[in-house]
Amino acid sequence: MTGSGTAQDPYKPETWAEVLSCTTSDSVYVDFPVTLTPTSDTEVKVRKVYLLEDGSVVQNPKTSEISTYYENTFVFDMNDYYPGGIESAITLKGHINGRGATIKNASYRGSDKCFETGTSLKQCLDFINCRGELSNGFFIGTVNSPSSGTTLFRLCRFSGKVVGIGNNTPYFSWIGRYAYFDQCSFNVEADGAMLDYALYKRCAINVIIPGNQGSGYLQLDNSYLTGRINRLQMQRISSSYFVGDSIIDCYVNRVVWDSGTPQHLMINSDKVASGVTIPSKLTPGTTEQLKDANWLSSQGFPIQT
């Protein structure tokens, strides 16, 4: 492993053991390994990480130049390191730049958490095919309280399933009510569990949450929510944080608005169960209306027509 852990000279681990050895503090800087593979994409995909030949992340790639870009196909497969499942929390603290790398097949059963990620930014790192069975706690996140307005995950992708055990209600993720997921995507099933109370900015969220415990009080900012949620809970915890300019396009049996006033928070009325009252803070629209840029614009939704 090279590097000294500073912003100018981050640690560059090459093995999972080296990752674990250098991610024990929120203050360190870490760059994940890179396996450059020419991308086959013919157009830029939102929330996907692209790299240049030197392994650096491209912030705003142009479609016309896509042939010069790469993706990082480096994978840490947890089945290789924990074939019987993860038995105690894995610490992944620090300012981590995954550079498009993937951690996959993490499986955990217990009452605490699988990944403790601390209060520093994790970016360009995917957690794929996660599996958690928890009687309490959360699968990924932090027990600490990050500063208000802190972005803890940016350009990360999450997929998997968390199952609640017993009468307790665990979370898929937990970063607190005042911290952000930014430009992240989720494809998660939470059975007897919830998603998170966090702020979701420019995120694509697809979830299946069938239980009575609800989704967790989601706060959406320029985000898109799909899937199936038995009890959808929404809020704007503080006027200091924007909530709105988002579309709720999932099947729901109950909708709860807790507090605060959103701006242009749209919900697909065709997918709300018959007889369910949509809170007045939300703007209902049919499936066809939510596909109509002119209609959305007429409701004040920020969209070009």
Give the model's pLDDT for residue 61: 81
38-52: burial string, b at 16+ Cβ within 10 Å, e else: ebeeeebeeebbbbe
CA dist., res. 93 & res. 212, Å (int): 33
In the chain, which residues have pLDDT < 70?
305
Helix (H, G, I), strand (E, B) or coil at 297: helix
CA distances (Å), origin 146, targets 151, 152, 155, 177, 199: 9, 8, 19, 10, 13
Residues ≥6 apart with Cβ < 8 Å to 34: 51, 55, 72, 74, 99, 100, 101
Which contiguous run of DSSP H or E holds residue 293? helix 293-298
- What number of other Cβ atoms are within 10 A of residue 258's Cβ? 12
Give the model's pLDDT for residue 305: 64
Amino acid at 118: G
Amino acid at 182: D
CA dist., res. 206 & res. 184, Å (int): 11
Strand partners for 38: 70
Give the model's pLDDT for residue 223: 96
**Taking Cα atoms as reference points, which of 270, 235, 227, 121 lies closest to residue 181?**
121
Residues ≥6 apart with Cβ < 8 Å to 124: 49, 57, 97, 98, 99, 100, 101, 154, 155, 156
